[in-house]
Copies of this chain bind each other. A is one copy, B any other.
């Protein structure tokens, strides 16, 4: 059984505890690995079509991804990550192209917040002015005031994201996933990184 989480940028695969990622245009090179029953969720119709070209029998798990929530239009990847908590309470932080923050209370979704992903901030600064087209210094010391542009950008991004996370997480347990999840989890003593959270949610739905 192969699981596929089709994101805004990449397709993420899971097979027997092993994971790999692939851009939609590079799927042909992963064709061998896609032998078997494939279950997917997707937030990107173009990438879904790319997958279906190679695995026409792949099954969309979306209809089975049910979460108790008042949220209108909650993305299926967020639902999967929340289901990955398997009934535990806490805050799910998926830090990818966007950073989504969802609060879960014993299997019920209480609401959620969206921030740009860390790379998206850099892209936003670049669009504003050539003077801000610099690599963000995300290793900046948040205890002192920046005195250079790369530090001022890094401080703005990191501090604003961390303060928002702290505000929403509070004393709760936080479960980080996504490309920048590991980096962000390090700032929280009550934070855990689980790169497989979305797949755990898909496996839970499949009863696997």
Contacts and interface: CB of A to CB of B under 8 A. Distances in A.
Interface in A99-138: 99-101, 103, 110-117, 120-121, 123-125, 127-129, 131-132
Q: Is the interface of A mostly helix, strand, loop or mixed?
A: mixed
Nearest to A155: B113
Contact of A8 (B44, B117, B129): B129
Given A114-B125, A115-B156, 19 more contacts: A8-B128, A69-B147, A72-B148, A72-B149, A73-B148, A73-B149, A75-B131, A98-B128, A98-B132, A99-B156, A101-B156, A111-B145, A111-B152, A113-B145, A115-B160, A116-B116, A120-B127, A160-B160, A163-B164
A147 B70 CA distance: 6
Interface of A: 8, 43-44, 69-73, 75, 97-101, 103, 110-117, 120-121, 123-125, 127-129, 131-132, 144-149, 152-153, 155-157, 159-161, 163-164, 167
A127 B113 CA distance: 18
A117 to B, nearest CB: 7
A114 B132 contact: yes
A132 B44 CA distance: 12
B98 A129 contact: yes
A97 B159 contact: no
A142 B155 CA distance: 23
B147 A72 contact: yes
Contact of A125 (B101, B116, B152, B167): B116
